[in-house]
Amino acid sequence: MMSLDKKTIEKLAKHCEDAELNAVEITKITDDYPEMTYEDAYDIQWTARAAKEARGTKIVGMKMGLTSQAKMKQMGVPNPCYGYLADYFSYADSAEIKIDELIHPKVEAEIAFVLKSDLQGPGCNIADVLAATDFVMPAVEVIDSRYKDFKFDLKSVIADNSSSSRYVTGGQARSIKGLDLKTLGVVMEINGEIAQLGAGAAVLGHPATSIAMLANMLSQRGEILKAGTYILSGAITAAVSVKKGDNVTVKFQELGTVSFKFV
């Protein structure tokens, strides 16, 4: 059962999306709506997504968030969550990202999956994901919670599209054959200094577990992951705060390097 009516869902969707578009901090919405449910939170996210699409924005992929025990502990939440990727979130390798369009951005290294066949739950597992994967690519997500001081609960972050804002794709597209995604290593450098180290196992033990979980979560809304979908599987490294002028370089074992700058 939903606890919020349709009018309130629409109001909160606009509230969260306006904060994203205008780079303005808001307080977590559960402060004002403590009774809201997880279903409400996803209804808010999907309503904002539909508003973007109605204005001509294309949804180009999906992301999983809070996919490591460390990340869940860091943010004080019990479960992972998902969000969507809009076309204007996407940047290519060597990009310059305008920090003034963001509030308090952080960067994290991720492995992106691109599907060659549809994937749907319930009951989706790692084997299904690996069979449906066309290739993987290295990526860096720029998360930017709209909530003041990056403080939120899981329901609030879901409503805020799981802190999605920008992402950069580079390196090489590789078949998963011969790749051990659990042990695949990552080195993140900020301005030439090592900021984070990680391996694929940081994402729920195996990045494909995250994709399977996404398919199963989407099935609760009657949605599937279609062939060709681009999916950010979750953070391999902890999120690192960045500022104007920072150069970010992330080196992925066997997948190449992603580099960009905040201006």
Nearest to 212 by CA among 138, 122, 85, 107: 122
Residue 1 lies in a domain: no
Task: Specify whether the CB–CB gap between 30 and 43 falls below 8 A.
Answer: no
- Contact call for residues 44 and 161 (beta carbons, < 8 A): no
154 lies in some domain:
yes
Residue with tokens 């999906």: 62
pLDDT higher for 70 or 99? 99
pLDDT at 1: 52
Looking at residue 2, its pLDDT comes to 59
Mean pLDDT of 227-248: 96
Q: What share of the chain is helix, strand, coil (3-state, %, to 5)?
A: 30, 30, 35
Q: What is the pLDDT of residues 63-87, one digit of tens each?
A: 999 898 766 777 677 778 999 999 9
Q: What percent of the chain has pLDDT over 90?
A: 90
How confident is the model at residue 79, as a pLDDT? 75
pLDDT at 168 over 90: yes
Domain count, the chain: 1
C-alpha 143/C-alpha 166 separation (Å) is 7
pLDDT at 103 over 90: yes
State the pLDDT at residue 72.
Answer: 74
Could you report the per-residue pLDDT of 174-218, keeping only the tens digit for each? 999 999 999 999 999 999 999 999 999 999 999 999 999 999 999
| Per-residue pLDDT at 152 exceeds 90 | no
User: Is 81 part of a structural domain of the chain?
Assistant: yes
Q: Could you give the CA distance from residue 41 to residue 147 in angstroms, rounded to a whole number?
A: 15
Cα–Cα distance between 210 and 60 in angstroms, integer?
18
pLDDT of residue 73: 76
Please report, as a single letter, which amino acid is at residue 147. Y
What is the domain range of residue 207?
6-262
Mean pLDDT of the chain: 95
Domain CATH code at residue 256: 3.90.850.10
